[in-house]
């Protein structure tokens, strides 16, 4: 399973060293994105454009195979709707 770790350099809840240890421990494929001056939950505010680029890049690079598998499995599923009409 692909892993994306986004870390803020100024995060007081999870230090950059802790984020790097998580990254090192994770299996491939993996990516670490460190945002300078970011804290724990303000990644998007630091650079919305970079945020979008990083996420889209990660998903397109690592999730394409998983998306194909998901779509294949989704076709086999029975969907139960509140009105009783199943698909």
- Residue 23 is assigned to a structural domain of this protein: yes
pLDDT at 75: 66
Q: What total of structural domains would you count in the chain?
A: 1
Q: DSSP characters for 51-64?
A: HHHHHHHHHHHHSH
What is the per-residue pLDDT across 8-26, written as a single tens digit (0 to 9) for each?
999 999 999 999 999 999 9
Whether 81 maps to a domain, the answer reads no
Buried b (16+ CB within 10 A) or exposed e, 24-60: eebeeebbbbebeebeeeebeeeeeeebeebeeebee
The answer as to whether 33 is a domain residue is yes
Q: Which domain holds residue 66?
A: 3-76
**Would you say residue 59 lies in a domain?**
yes
Is residue 83, in this structure, part of any structural domain at all? Answer: no
How many other CB atoms sit within 10 Å of the CB of residue 23? Answer: 17
pLDDT digits (tens, 9 = 90+) for 45-65: 888 888 889 988 888 887 776
Q: Confirm whether pTM is higher than 0.75.
A: no
Is 84 inside a domain boundary?
Answer: no
Note whether residue 40 is domain-resident. yes
Evaluate whether residue 35 is within a structural domain: yes
Which residue stretches of the chain are H helix?
16-25, 43-46, 48-62, 64-76
């Amino acid at each position: 399973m692909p892993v994306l770790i986004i870390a803020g350099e100024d995060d007081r809840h999870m230090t950059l060293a802790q984020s790097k240890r998580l990254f090192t421990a994770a299996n491939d494929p993996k990516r670490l994105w460190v945002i300078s001056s970011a804290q724990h939950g303000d990644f998007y505010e630091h650079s919305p454009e970079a945020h979008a680029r990083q996420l889209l890049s990660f998903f397109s690079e690592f999730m394409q195979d998983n998306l194909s598998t998901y779509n294949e499995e989704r076709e086999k599923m029975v969907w139960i709707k509140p009105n009783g009409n199943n698909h």
